[in-house]
Structure 1
Amino acid sequence: MSHRNIFVVGLNAFNRERLESLRGARHYRFHGVIEPEAVYDTEVFPIEDMLDRAEAELRDFTGSIDAIVGYMDFPVSTMLPLLCNRFATRTTSLESLLKCEHKYWSRLTQREVIGNYIPRFTAFDPFDDDALSRIGEAGLYFPFFVKPIKSSGSRLGFRIDSPEDFSAAVTRLREDIGLISEPFNFVLDQAQLPDSVRAVDGGHCMAEEIIGGWQCTVEGYVFQGQVVPYGIVDSIRYPQVLSFFYYRYPSRLPGRIQDKMRELSATVMAHIGYDNAAFNIEYFWDEVQNRIWLLEINTRISQSHCDLFEKVDGVSHQQVTVDLALGQPPDMPSRQGAFAVAGKFFYRVFFVDATVSRVPSAQEIEALEQEFPGTLIALQVSVGMRLSSLPEQDSYSFALAYIWMGADNDDALEYNYARLAERLIFEFEDIVG
């Protein structure tokens, strides 16, 4: 049997190892396209140039091009329909992807079928000096949340409790929104958009009613028109702040709430016309009001959840991405892993800025990983690094390390992390509190 060639945008060694352990991987050859540094360690995304370079790399390949995949948010997720179209490989259409990734178009589309499960919203231009008044005219009042029409992670997202908060947020948005708006606008120019959406380009922002509660993510896919949610991951935040503490799988939400989230996911993804690709949808469950809110739709698996599925179900859910790209139903197992529960923890500091003067040594990390079986520790900083140079951070903290752990139950998971975190020593200088 000949091998099938799968090209992965931004492929690094960490993810290559996971991919090569997937079911059927002995029949595959994984190839990187576009160096990982171009999509991981930067906030500058020359997307037109990246597409041209990727196309040139692929055209130079002498074998078959059987699939082109990715597992990251912008710019990778947004590039894939354009790149796949050039080589006639499988993925969803650009328009259906943008109905998820363009936050305003996504809300308009969601409102058509699940209007009772989304917050009030409006779009605004951060360069409009009367933007705050226009938001009020749209029926949104303090507090509310603002974020770019297209963002990545929690970057440039702000809770607004006062005019002063809005002014500070707009200052940051005016400074930094161009990093994503310019490349995103290039993608928008390739799509067929309704006039109401084309007028709200990547330089715009969203204002939304504050929603909250128990946050989780439904991971799913669509194969030949059938929507399949296959796992729900809880997202637990640090007390009193927006920053994530850890992700936990499987979810501990009540069964009826999980069932309703699966139903909503199937309804909205079918309505969007999304097909032959993976997705995940973030939700809140407000336990007090017994109300479910759809937060946002992402057009990919969550890379953060790969190890969680591997620990609990037996294989990374990159299995879903690869199988779909090859045109076959995903061969995703359930509860065949070594652990009953798994988590990805974010080791954070809540500084405004600082310079890193010490990080745990390789020997220290190896000792901790051996003491806590199944644990993986990935440092995000190095000595001499300025925290403000870290990409993909929220507006309130810096993640110094990611720690994946498995356990027999929830209590053991948190207890083991607390023990590990006490021995994960970082030091700083020039701290701005």
Structure 2
Amino acid sequence: MTRNVFVVGLNDYNAERLKTLRMVEDVVFHQLLTPAQVYETQEFDIPSMLAEAEATLDAFDGSIDAIVGYMDFPVSTMLPLLSRKYGTPNTSLESLLKCEHKFWSRKVMAEVIPDHVPAFTAFDPFDDDALSKIGESNLRFPFFVKPIKSSGSRLGFRIDSPEDFDFAVQKLRAEIGQISEPFNVVLDRADLPDDIRAIEGHYCMAERVIGGRQCTVEGYVHDGEVTLYGTVDSIRYPQVLSFFYYLYPSTLPRQVQDQMWKISRKVMKHIGYDNAGFNIEYFWDEVDDKIWLLEINTRIAQSHCDLFEMVDGVSHQQVTVDLGLGRKPDMPQRQGTQNVAAEFFYRVFFGDATAARVPSRAEIEVAAEQVEGTRIVSNLSKGMKLSELPEQDAYSFAVASVWMGAGTTSKLLWNYEQVMKRLNYEFTDIED
């Protein structure tokens, strides 16, 4: 009997990759909303998207066996609402928001893993006295600020001085509405405690700066059982907050990874998260041998799909599909063709600029051919301004992503250099 899986924001590339998963011979994958609606934009009309998705599902002449997605906001927050209406497996909206509402998430973490949570407070960026109120909470420079609903590294700032805070507040006031307004739509549909309801979508978090070697633990919960299946290192460019590449498997000491996995099981069990995938970002401070939990994401990391496919033999979209169908995920280990794999981010560190030249499709294909199995995605078109790119951090622009594998990490880095020599970007109207 055919089973129908609806994937929010499904694109052509992933439509083909999903067919390579295990135990999907009887599964038909259907697009639910287009990529342009859910991630190739910076404006999210959630009521309209939900209405269109529901109209599609209501009109479908067949069984609705799963409703899944593997992207961040707004997809992640819409899934529990759709699953609740159509009776497909997923975690509850409230348990999801205990992860995605960053203030609520920190409060819940502090209940069970206080030694791994930095000092934090919420603040209103539209309050002219916000900085003094942050100081009253005993947070001192330096600290980090971000929206209570962040997406990627967007609108995240390190604050070392009042001038830094003023700059961050100006950016937050100008742009936070793109996140806060749709997020408030979701909050209005949830059963929230009064103290959390008071921290609306336009609020921000201030947290003590934490650091060290950063990584992401990937896992899922099925029928109350928390399972972890991989740790991916997050390597930054020197002296900046922007990511250079994600590396799998992690090179962290095994005992550090084991401790992170133990913390992950404890916090996800406490939250009551169930029947869905997640990933948790951590720092390991080598000097003090201290583990800090940075944040919880209520989805698999799409950037890691190629990495798991190359090293373990299948994309961890396997986890998403299996859970959506109500079954325990069948995720293999070390059955891929590569020992290590990475996603590299080719970035430029401008205030803004215009793309005067970008690699052609043929040039990208030639560059990818330098190393077998390489996949390259260019994010720019000629004449496009860098500021038009969605989901960028506050310090750089990722103009291309490169996924590749190798036998060793050193060979992987050497391969990346050979590939990038073939890609030529040129910019005009450069702003420092």
TM-score over 0.5 (shorter chain): yes
| % identical equivalent positions | 66
Partner of 2:330: 331
State how far apart, in whole Å, the 2-side matches of 1:371 and 1:107 are.
45
- Are the equivalent residues in 1 in contact too, given 2:38–2:44 (CA < 8 A)? yes
* 1:380-409 Cα shifts (integer Å, max 9, x gaps): 001010111110000011111000000000
Letter in 1 for 2:237: Y
Deviations 1:210-247 (A, max 9, x none): 00000000000000000001000000000000000000
- 1:318-338 per-residue CA deviation (whole Å, 9 max, x = no partner) reads 000000010111010000000
Matched with 1:271 is: 270
Distance 2:72 2:52 in 1: 19
Structure 1 partner of 2:200: 201
The amino acid across from 2:184 in the alignment is N
The residue type equivalent to 1:214 in the other structure is: R
Assess if the C-alpha contact under 8 Å between 2:368 and 2:419 holds in 1. Answer: no
Match of 1:281 in 2: 280
Alignment partner of 1:125 is 2:124: yes
Distance 2:19 2:62 in 1: 19
1:62 aligned partner: 61
The amino acid across from 1:396 in the alignment is Y
Distance 1:251 1:219 in 2: 12
Shift of 1:365: 1.4
| Structure 1 partner of 2:219 | 220
Alignment-mate amino acid for residue 173 of structure 2: R
1:279-299 C-alpha deviation (Å, 9 max, x unpaired): 000000000110000000000
What SS does the aligned partner of 1:270 have? Answer: helix
Runs of 4+ residues over 2 Å off in structure 1: none
Match of 2:11 in 1: 12
For residues 15 and 66 of structure 1, the distance between their equivalents in structure 2, rounded to whole angstroms, comes to: 19
User: Which deviates further from its counterpart, 352-361 or 401-410?
Assistant: 352-361
CA distance in 2: counterparts of 1:98 and 1:129, whole angstroms: 28
Report deviation, 1:25: 1.9
Partner of 1:95: 94
CA contact (8 A) 2:366 2:422 kept: no
Secondary structure of 2:150's aligned partner: coil
Q: 2:184 & 2:287 partners in 1: Cα distance?
A: 40
RMSD over aligned CA atoms reads: 0.6
Post-superposition shift, 1:361?
Answer: 1.5
Is 2:184–2:200's contact at 8 Å kept on the other side of the alignment? yes
One-letter amino acid of the counterpart of residue 31, structure 1: H
For 1:373 and 1:27, the matched residues in 2 are separated by 31
Q: Partners in 2 of 1:398 and 1:157 — Cα distance?
A: 14
Letter in 2 for 1:103: K
Counterpart of 2:255 in structure 1 is: 256
- What is the match of residue 304 of structure 2? 305
Structure 2 residue matching 1:246: 3-state secondary structure: strand
Tell me the amino acid that sits aligned with residue 314 of structure 1. Answer: G
- State the 1:140 CA deviation: 0.3
d(CA) in 2 for partners of 1:378, 1:352 = 22
Deviation of 1:348 after TM superposition, in Å, equals: 0.5
**One-letter code of the match for 2:40?**
D
Q: Residue 389 of structure 1 aligns with which residue?
A: 388
1:245 match: 244
Partner of 1:235: 234
Alignment of structure 1 residues 18-417 onto 2, 5 Å: 18-417=17-416
- Where does structure 1 lack aligned partners over 5 or more consecutive residues? none
Structure 1, residues 230-270: CA drift from partner, whole Å, max 9, x if none?
00000000000000000000000000000000000000000
Distance 2:164 2:87 in 1: 47
Question: Could you tell me which amino acid in structure 1 is paired with residue 364 of structure 2?
Answer: I
2:33 maps to a residue whose letter is I
| CA distance in structure 1 between the partners assigned to 2:418 and 2:345 by the alignment | 14
C-alpha distance in structure 1 between counterparts of 2:145 and 2:370, whole Å: 43
Q: Is the 8 A contact 2:367 2:420 kept in 1?
A: no
Give the distance between the partners of 1:16 and 1:119, measured in 2 at CA: 40
The amino acid of 1:161's aligned partner reads D
Give the counterpart letter for 2:26 in structure 1.
H
Structure 2 residue identity aligned to 1:408:
G
SS at match of 1:26: coil
Counterpart-to-counterpart distance in 1, 2:353 and 2:125: 29
User: How much does 1:86 deviate?
Assistant: 1.0
Shift of 1:18: 1.4
Query: Aligned letter for 1:141?
Result: R
SS at structure 2 position matched to 1:357: strand
- Mapped to 1, the partners of 2:77 and 2:39 lie a distance apart of 15
Number of matched pairs: 432
Please, what TM-score do these two structures have when normalized by structure 2? 0.99
Amino acid at match of 2:400: A
2-side partners of 1:370 and 1:349: how far apart?
Answer: 24
Q: Distance in 2 between matches of 1:124 and 1:25?
A: 47
- Segment drifting more, 245-254 vs 25-34: 25-34
Query: 1:127, 1:356 → 2: CA distance?
Result: 34
The amino acid of 2:13's aligned partner reads: F
Query: What amino acid is aligned across from residue 321 of structure 1 in structure 2?
Result: T
Cα distance in 2, alignment partners of residues 200 and 159 from structure 1: 22
In 2, distance between residues paired with 1:167 and 1:430?
26
TM-score (norm 1): 0.99
Once the two structures are TM-superposed, the CA of residue 371 in structure 1 deviates from its matched residue by: 2.1
CA contact (8 A) 2:7 2:32 kept: yes
Tell me by how many angstroms 1:92 deviates: 0.2
Equivalent-residue separation in structure 2 for 1:181 and 1:137 (angstroms):
25
CA distance in 1, matches of 2:79, 2:70: 10
Show CA shifts across 1:113-154 (max 9, x none): 000001000000001110000000001010000000001000
Q: What is the identity, as a one-letter code, of the residue corresponding to 1:30?
A: F
- Segments of structure 2 that go 5 or more residues without pairing to the other structure are none
Counterpart of 2:287, as a letter, is V
Question: Secondary structure at 1:57's aligned position in 2?
Answer: helix
Structure 2 residue identity aligned to 1:28: V
